[in-house]
Amino acid sequence: MGIIMWKKVEKGIYQEGTHSFRVRMMVNGHKLDKTLDSLTEARVYRDSHKLSQSLDVHESAIIESRIKKQTIKSLSVGDALDRYLLEVTPTKKGASTEEFRIGKAKRTKLAKKPMHGITPDDVLAYLEEIGGSENNKRKYASIISHLYRTAIRKWRLPVTNPVSGQIDLPSNGKPRERRLHKGEYEALMKALMGEAKAFVIIAVETAMRRSEIFNLRRENINKKTCSAVLRDTKNGETRTTLFSAAAMKALQDLNLDWKSKGEVWTITESQLRRVWEEARADIDAPDLHFHDLRHEGTSRLFEKGLNVFEVQSITGHKTLSELRKYTHLEPRNILKKLG
């Protein structure tokens, strides 16, 4: 059996191989002997135990602060986003959307930089790299800002938020007024098939949010009353929505086993996103967003003659002002009613 040779790196720390660092020291009469995977970890372990030897509380706080700063130097923004994705994102209603945005954020230059050294200028450069509308940039800025708030308040890391109070956030932008242009709905129906086609039909016919459609369950759908109970919606409330004949037919065409409980869809959000983008390209509508279907559906409900309270009960908008920004009626349909 060979003898393991440990090389002394610094006081109390010895190295054997590339990824093996051993801390050997005496603390208050007790012998410490622990092997760690990196020199940084070994230093933190050694120095944290040295704190117990100090009788001065203020001195201990200073040393502890230094240890944290030493640890944070090796933590990149990308590493912190990984932890955030694991601990924070799953608790949010829009977890899948945030997961997609974090994936994009991790591919930026900012993600490779150490978290403790990020400046407001770094954030502005990151937003330019993200691109898109001002509203889109605002959402990506919010991710970084909340990442730092979490690091400060929950993880107790000695960092400064480079977003909050440091930069002017991009504006929310004008509310989108995009409705389906003439012939686009028919073109979408030709470009889509299967579950994706049914999903779009239901989105337009009910003005439901994408997340609400995905959360549909067979046991919550009443085919006799053409209705569905939506639980844990974006607003945190449960509501009942109604299906038009076209929406019910789209559900029936899925050939579901209505006698059993369970989810309606087998298509995943990433699969739907990919199919949607392909269909959007096929019909030459690059500016059409899936959420525009909620605008379209809400406006169609008004054009069918429903009053504002009836529409609100179906769409789940919290306030009338929210409903107003989503509603863009076709003048020709209003003229028909005027006579």
- Told to judge if 154 belongs to the known catalytic residues of this protein, a careful annotator would answer no
SS3 assignment for 258-323: CCCCCECCCCCHHHHHHHHHHHHHHCCCCCCCCCHHHHHHHHHHHHCCCCHHHHHHHHCCCCHHHH
* φ, ψ of residue 122 in degrees (nearest 5): -65, -40
- Told to judge if 116 belongs to the known catalytic residues of this protein, a careful annotator would answer no
Residue whose token pair is 């990442």: 147
- Told to judge if 336 belongs to the known catalytic residues of this protein, a careful annotator would answer no
19 SS3 class: coil
Given the residues 209, 210, 280, 300, select the one marked as catalytic. 209
Q: How far, in Å, CA of 339 to CA of 334, rounded?
A: 9
Distances from the Cα of 230 to the Cα of 183, 236, 262, 315, 326, angstroms: 31, 10, 14, 11, 20
- Told to judge if 259 belongs to the known catalytic residues of this protein, a careful annotator would answer no
- Told to judge if 92 belongs to the known catalytic residues of this protein, a careful annotator would answer no
* φ, ψ of residue 120 in degrees (nearest 5): -55, -35
Alpha helical stretches, state H, the chain: 39-50, 57-72, 77-87, 95-105, 120-130, 134-153, 184-191, 194-206, 210-214, 245-252, 269-282, 292-303, 308-315, 320-326, 331-338
Exposure on the CB side of residue 178, measured as CA atoms within 13 A: 12
Given the residues 46, 294, 295, 300, select the one marked as catalytic. 294
Given the residues 234, 249, 324, 336, select the one marked as catalytic. 234
Given the residues 24, 34, 49, 291, select the one marked as catalytic. 291
> Taking a C-beta distance cutoff of 8 angstroms, is the pair 248, 226 a contact?
yes
> Taking a C-beta distance cutoff of 8 angstroms, is the pair 216, 258 a contact?
no
- Told to judge if 107 belongs to the known catalytic residues of this protein, a careful annotator would answer no
Catalytic residues: 209, 234, 291, 294, 317, 326
